[in-house]
């Protein structure tokens, strides 16, 4: 007889825990939807601001090949000395 009472008690505890879990996920879902709407609104307002400003085209182009000045090569032979004055 006491077993039946314990099972019912565990069943009630599990039901309450599940109800709290469902409520927590519903709150999380509502929060995510609200934040998603805020993010969408932020990007819509940003796009409107970008559309309002004038686009100024640059008058220069990026060169495909960047020329560099020639490097000076040191063609002197390197000599080792036993007693260096460095």
CA 77 to chain centre: 54
pLDDT of residue 8: 58
Where do the structural domains in the chain lie, given as residue ranges?
21-54
pLDDT at 31 over 80: yes
How many other C-beta atoms lie within 10 A of the C-beta of residue 83? 4
User: pTM of the predicted model, to two decimals?
Assistant: 0.46
User: At 37, is the pLDDT very low, low, confident or very high (cuts 50, 70, 90)?
Assistant: very high
CA nearest to 43, candidates 35, 33, 32: 35
What is the distance between the terminal CA atoms of the chain, rounded to a whole angstrom? Answer: 101
pLDDT at 69 over 80: no
Q: What distance in Å separates the CA atoms of residue 76 and residue 71, rounded to the nearest whole number?
A: 15
Question: Vertex 18, ends 16 and 24: CA angle to 5°?
Answer: 105
């Amino acid at each position: 007889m006491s077993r039946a009472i314990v099972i019912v008690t565990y069943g009630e505890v599990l039901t309450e825990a599940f109800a709290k879990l469902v409520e927590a996920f519903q709150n999380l879902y509502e929060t995510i939807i609200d934040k998603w709407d805020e993010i969408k609104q932020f990007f819509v307002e940003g796009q409107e601001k970008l559309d309002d400003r004038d686009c100024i085209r640059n008058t220069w182009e990026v060169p495909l090949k960047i020329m560099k000045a020639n490097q000076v090569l040191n063609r002197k032979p390197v000599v080792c000395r036993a007693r260096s004055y460095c």
